[in-house]
Structure 1
Amino acid sequence: MIAALKAAHIIALSIWCAGLILLPILLHIYGRRPEMRSQAGFTEFRWLTHYSYIAVITPAAVIAVSVGTVLIFALEVLNAWMLAKLIAVAGMVLLHAWMGHLIVQAGEGRGDFHLPMAGLSLLALVPLIGLVLWLVLAKPSLEELIALLPSILQEPRGNPIPARFNPL
């Protein structure tokens, strides 16, 4: 069962990451084509971006996050690297929502189909994907980083963490 959940998580995460890389490229390059100035070109652009976001990328994101959450609890993975991974995934979720906003903005047809901001999202997205991959594969010990935090952030409300839930 765990192997099937891991496979579903990896497949969904791969589709989600590929889609998040594809969307800025579509918005930036495809939107610059000369045939975009016609109604047929705009309809094709709108259909391609909207339905890839709604029908493929967003369901993959929901499945990846849901199955990942189930795996965290099933495997009781409560380590510091997992918290760092969840923070990076939260950044990916924010970029996902921003891409949806840019797709709506392009679909409103304000006459400017060249969206340079979509290309800039790759500058944040690619390092986040790489960070998630590194954290999962390396499972680094982040004790030195945690030691830099104030003591109030190391223990919940001044109470020590029980040994079985200790992320260190």
Structure 2
Amino acid sequence: MIASLKYLHLAAMLCWCASLIALPLLLSLYGSTWRNNEGGEARQARYAEFRLITHYGYVAFATPAAVIAIAAGTALIFAAQVFDLWFAAKLALVAGMALVHAWLGHIVLVSAERRGTGWMPSPLYALFIVIPLMMGVLWLVLAKPDLAWMADWLPAFMLAPRGQA
């Protein structure tokens, strides 16, 4: 049971992380095509291609991968009974990845609505945020470091189960 949950979680995490790297690159690549002086039909064809790739990449691939990864990871928490401090740090990094995921969804939506007009921050900023988060998650999972030194900085209510202080 635990092995199959780990496999599902790892496969979904790989797909999710790949999409968090690919989407900013796609948005950046297609965003540069709007600045070209193409004719009406060529520009409309580029827009249709951009819309299809980014929309379905986000809605049909990245988001289901994220949901499956988080659901399998949540099930794995209780199946393997992992309640260490490194795991809490991992969850904080995964929450950061989820925020980047939501921001990329916002960029996909706004870029489709504006059709490349108006100023938007570069989607490549997402890479500068999400790659260190992914590396941190990978390090925490593989190293499982002893983060007991962090317990001195945490409030007492965070170190004891609720109602059992």
Contact 1:32 1:114 in 2 (8 A): no
Q: How does 1:80-119 map to 2 (within 5 A)?
A: 80-112=85-117, 115-119=120-124
Using the TM superposition, give the Cα deviation of residue 110 of structure 1 relative to its aligned residue in structure 2, in angstroms: 4.5
Counterpart residue identity of residue 9, structure 2: H
Contact 1:10 1:64 in 2 (8 A): yes
Residue 44 of structure 2 corresponds to residue 39 of structure 1 = yes
Contact 1:8 1:64 in 2 (8 A): yes
The match for 2:142 among 106, 125, 137 is: 137
Kindly provide the CA deviation profile for residues 116-144 of structure 1, in whole angstroms up to 9, marking residues without a partner as x.
Answer: 43111111100100110001000001001
TM-score (norm 2): 0.88
Task: Report the counterpart of residue 75 of structure 2 in structure 1.
Answer: 70
What count of residue pairs does the alignment treat as equivalent? 160
Using the TM superposition, give the Cα deviation of residue 113 of structure 1 relative to its aligned residue in structure 2, in angstroms: 7.8
Using the TM superposition, give the Cα deviation of residue 159 of structure 1 relative to its aligned residue in structure 2, in angstroms: 3.6
SS in 2 for 1:155: coil
TM-score (norm 1): 0.87
Query: Quick one: distance in 2 between partners of 1:118 and 1:130?
Result: 19
Overall identity of the aligned pairs, in %: 49
Using the TM superposition, give the Cα deviation of residue 108 of structure 1 relative to its aligned residue in structure 2, in angstroms: 0.5
Using the TM superposition, give the Cα deviation of residue 148 of structure 1 relative to its aligned residue in structure 2, in angstroms: 2.3
Of 69-78 and 104-113, deviating more is 104-113
Task: Report the counterpart of residue 6 of structure 1 in structure 2.
Answer: 6
SS in 1 for 2:124: helix
Query: Quick one: distance in 2 between partners of 1:75 and 1:50?
Result: 36
Query: Quick one: distance in 2 between partners of 1:110 and 1:45?
Result: 10
Residue 153 of structure 2 corresponds to residue 148 of structure 1 = yes
Segments of 5+ residues of structure 2 without an aligned counterpart are none
RMSD between superposed Cα atoms in Å: 2.0
Contact 2:31 2:116 in 1 (8 A): no
Using the TM superposition, give the Cα deviation of residue 146 of structure 1 relative to its aligned residue in structure 2, in angstroms: 1.4
Of 130-139 and 101-110, deviating more is 101-110
Residue 56 of structure 2 corresponds to residue 57 of structure 1 = no
Task: Report the counterpart of residue 164 of structure 1 in structure 2.
Answer: none
Residue 32 of structure 2 corresponds to residue 27 of structure 1 = no
Kindly provide the CA deviation profile for residues 26-85 of structure 1, in whole angstroms up to 9, marking residues without a partner as x.
Answer: 111222123597111001001000001011111000000000000000010111111111
Query: Quick one: distance in 1 between partners of 2:66 and 2:119?
Result: 26
Segments of 5+ residues of structure 1 without an aligned counterpart are 161-168
SS in 2 for 1:53: helix
Segments ≥4 residues shifted beyond 2 Å: 33-37, 109-117, 148-160
